[in-house]
Amino acid sequence: MRSRLNPYLGFRDNAREAMDFYQSVFGGDIARTTYGEYNASEDPAEKDKIMHSELTTTSGFSLMTSDTPKGMELSTSSSITVSLSGEDEAELTGYWEKLVDGGSVMMPLNKAPWGDSFGMVTDKFGTGWMVNISGTPS
């Protein structure tokens, strides 16, 4: 198998809801495992939390998420912004419109000085996204 790099988003306790949202944006299939399936948490209240989930789409996207048990801390030493880019204006604009729902637009999706359309949004789960549509017409 080839090496690959893909985003892995950590949540406190809403990875299932976030992944369902991302599936509504990008389509695809979700594989999930819970802490309870692997007896990986001593707290029975956490048995249904997501230990690992992966969304795989027909466009070739792979996005992973998990919940963070109470005994572990969320990492705050770095931040991540997920970048979507390409030439398919309809596809990327569709993703943008869904990501904006309930989110906060940092920069509207408009013509950028470099000639592409570009926008930035933080979705309703706090994940930053950049969308760049190559060479879109004025």
Q: What is the DSSP letter of 70?
A: T
Same domain, 59 and 93: no
- CA separation for the pair 106, 128 (Å, rounded): 9
Same domain, 61 and 12: yes
Burial class from Cβ neighbours inside 10 Å (0-12, 13-18, 19+) for residue 129 reads buried
Whether 3 is covered by a domain: the verdict is no
Q: Across the beta sheet with 128-133, what order do the strands follow? A: 81-86, 128-133, 117-122, 104-111
Whether 75 is covered by a domain: the verdict is no
Is residue 137 predicted with pLDDT exceeding 70? no
Residue 78, CB-side half-sphere exposure with 13 Å CA sphere: 5
**What are the tokens at 79?**
């931040």
Same domain, 49 and 86: no
Same domain, 47 and 93: no
Q: Which domain holds residue 15?
A: 8-67
pLDDT tens across 63-89, in order? 999 998 887 776 666 678 999 999 999
CATH number of 91's domain: 3.30.720.110
pLDDT confidence of residue 44: 87
- CA separation for the pair 16, 78 (Å, rounded): 23
pLDDT confidence of residue 136: 55
